Structure 1
Amino acid sequence: MKIFDSHTHLNDTPYQGKEADYIARARELNVVKMAIVGSDTALNAGALDLAAKFPELYAIVGWHPEFAKDYDPAAETLLLQQLQQEKVVALGEIGLDYHWDTSPRDVQRQVFARQLTLAAQLNKPVSIHSREAFDDTYEILNASKVCDFGGIMHSFTGDDHEVQRYLALGMYISFSGMVTFKNAPEIQAAAKVVPDDRLLVETDAPYLTPAPYRGKPNEPGYTYYVVQKLAELRETTPEHIAAVTYQNACRIFGVAP
């Protein structure tokens, strides 16, 4: 069984200097590839460094909506350079976050749309963050013609009806440890209806630790428990979930399996 953690932050502070240990621990749980996701200048640089150092790691770089207020022409120039590096597999995480509102919403929307334009120009898939902003996220994605270059709804939190809108855009749907939470019936309902060829798994570590480790620090290896829960919900085997999500991640990221 091989698992691909399609969205993790091994470039974040809790893992600094211990990345090799966490990669080894993940391998013990059959997690053999990871996409390391940036959010701003520092985290983008960290994702690139790790992807260059470890063959099983890939980088995703972009500007998170929380930091949209800091996105300027200099940031865009650097981002364009980074997106053309060999192991950069997507632009992200980008999108909208109306929960924290650390950047003005109109600025978030402008920066989101601008980065989608870059993705279209470079034909790079996108990794989408959407929190309490599903309607605006959908409208901006739809206007961008994301179906032409592809994308992922990372750590999806909608229900079985909401997910259909994004599937219709051609998006992949990624589930994090939240799908294991007892108080997440809507997410679990969505997880049951996503077609096999559009399904992904992730940890979003160090956030959203899955059961049975909820409340403790998360790590990329725990994608294993997301796979286990999806197998239970979809009435299939963990081996099947691991296989289809691994193939899907390789396909959307353009990575050799």
Structure 2
Amino acid sequence: MMYLVDSHCHLNELNDKNIPTSIDNILEDAKDQSVGFVMTVATTIPGYLEMRQQIGERNNVAFSCGVHPLNVSNSYNYEELHQYSSSPEVIAIGETGLDFCHNKDNITLQKDSFIRHISVGKALDKPVIIHMRDACKDTLEILVAEKIYECGGILHCFTGDLETARKLLDMGCYISFSGIITFRNADELQVVARYVPADRILLETDSPYLAPVPHRGKQNRPAYLRDIALHLSLLRDVPIEVLAKQTTDNFSNLFGLNLPND
């Protein structure tokens, strides 16, 4: 039986009025499409707390804790980040990183927050989820300076070029592909998707954003991960079952979990 892992979604943000959106419905729909495990990712500390309360403890859901670069401010208490990230249900730190596409007014704050997240990741020995938009040079510089290899990193929803991917791989990072690889204008990204070594690939939906073909225009859901996996398997010329096993193994190895792999 095939088993897929959605390595990055935002379960608490799914609110499509046209379909059932309870957590149970979402996870059951995902299971019907062979998606057996998801990581739901925080973008603020209050959001993390709300997410934990809404979802509770489940054996098929793990959490991250962090502050998205577009949500950083002087008011954040990074001691709280460390405190909440210490929970065993939190397996990753973030999402953090740099986003100069949507906001260049708080670059210093973004960089400081990014460095603090990596520091927490190293202190707790938990991988860091990295968001990178129009900030490749600065992101790479921080990852090198802060020794990301000491805790591990995931470049979530990767959209960079082959050179950037090579540099990230050299640092020990994993590359996570989203529904963007199914888009018609994703030729350069598809080259990267063929290149990344099999043992460094992860899959994600980034739900509720970036629904893959053939679901464009809809709110994304973890169940749609199967479409992403199928497209990537065709790009890499491997059976989807092989890709599913490899990416599940990768997730298990990175986070020290024992998930089914067939």
Opposite residue 199 of structure 1, the aligned amino acid is I
1:68 corresponding residue in structure 2 = 72
Deviations along 1:37-81, whole A, 9 cap, x unmatched? Answer: 001023211343356332100001111100112553xx3122112
Residue 161 of structure 1, CA deviation: 2.2
1:148 corresponding residue in structure 2 = 150
Opposite residue 124 of structure 1, the aligned amino acid is K
CA distance in 2 between counterparts of 1:67 and 1:44 reads: 13
CA distance in 1 between counterparts of 2:150 and 2:51 reads: 26
Instruction: Give the 5 Å matches for 1:1-257.
Output: 1-12=2-13, 14=15, 18-49=22-53, 52-72=56-76, 75-101=77-103, 104-257=106-259
Secondary structure of 1:183's aligned partner:
coil
CA distance in 2 between counterparts of 1:51 and 1:78 reads: 20
CA distance in 2 between counterparts of 1:243 and 1:162 reads: 26
Secondary structure of 1:6's aligned partner:
strand
CA distance in 2 between counterparts of 1:104 and 1:194 reads: 32
Query: Given the two structures, how large is their TM-score scaled by the length of structure 2?
Result: 0.93
Secondary structure of 1:11's aligned partner:
helix
- Relative to structure 2, which stretch is displaced further, 90-99 or 102-111? 102-111
Opposite residue 15 of structure 2, the aligned amino acid is P
Deviations along 1:92-146, whole A, 9 cap, x unmatched? Answer: 1000001110761111011111111121111111000001111111100111111
CA distance in 2 between counterparts of 1:207 and 1:176 reads: 10
CA distance in 2 between counterparts of 1:70 and 1:256 reads: 39
Secondary structure of 1:14's aligned partner:
coil
Contact 2:65 2:93 in 1 (8 A): yes
> Are the structure 2 counterparts of residues 17 and 218 from structure 1 closer, same or farther at C-alpha, using a change threshold of 3 Å?
closer
Contact 1:203 1:222 in 2 (8 A): yes
Opposite residue 4 of structure 2, the aligned amino acid is I
Query: Given the two structures, how large is their TM-score scaled by the length of structure 1?
Result: 0.95
CA distance in 2 between counterparts of 1:225 and 1:42 reads: 32
Opposite residue 9 of structure 1, the aligned amino acid is H
CA distance in 2 between counterparts of 1:241 and 1:112 reads: 31
Secondary structure of 1:90's aligned partner:
strand
RMSD of equivalent CA atoms? 1.6
Deviations along 1:129-173, whole A, 9 cap, x unmatched? Answer: 001111111100111111111110000001222210100110000
Structure 1 unaligned regions, length at least 5: none
Opposite residue 244 of structure 1, the aligned amino acid is Q
Between the two proteins, the alignment pairs up a number of residues equal to: 255
CA distance in 1 between counterparts of 2:165 and 2:80 reads: 33
Structure 2 unaligned regions, length at least 5: none
